Amino acid sequence: GAGVSQSPRYKVTKRGQDVALRCDPISGHVSLYWYRQALGQGPEFLTYFNYEAQQDKSGLPNDRFSAERPEGSISTLTIQRTEQRDSAMYRCASSPPSPATGGEQYFGPGTRLTVT
């Protein structure tokens, strides 16, 4: 079946512009996670959803970052007034229902964001 998909795969934007990154999780997966990954580093947690409810947004760096998942499926991560330091790989992951552990996470291919 289809895995987690993200779009666009690459985004180059000018400083000050807003960007919206999209994640389409695996069908039936309840939980959806957003991460930011710097070159050569492990993913850094940003936020996650169970269904449409945002459960934890403690990793969002500041109020320019927001995320939504209005119908409990596709999610959008929005960065307003982008800055060069926002340049990174943004990864989305989803996991199936698993009350015990949250379940293993299936990662998408990521969106490489470059702010010039």
Q: Which residues bind another protein (CB under 8 A)?
A: 4, 31, 33, 35, 40-45, 48, 50, 55-56, 58-59, 91, 95, 100-110
Q: In the complex with another protein, which residue's Cβ is closer, 64 or 107? A: 107
Provide the 10 A C-beta neighbour count for residue 82: 21
The amino acid sitting at 50 is N
Six token digits for residue 109:
């291919």
Nearer to another protein, 75 or 82 (CB): 75
How far, in Å, are 10, 15, 38, 87 from residue 113 at the CA level? 6, 12, 11, 5
CB of 101 to another protein, least distance (A): 4
Smallest distance from another protein to CB 63, Å:
20
Nearer to another protein, 14 or 58 (CB): 58
Nearest approach in angstroms of CB 102 to another protein is 3
Buried b (16+ CB within 10 A) or exposed e, 92-101: bbbbeeeeee
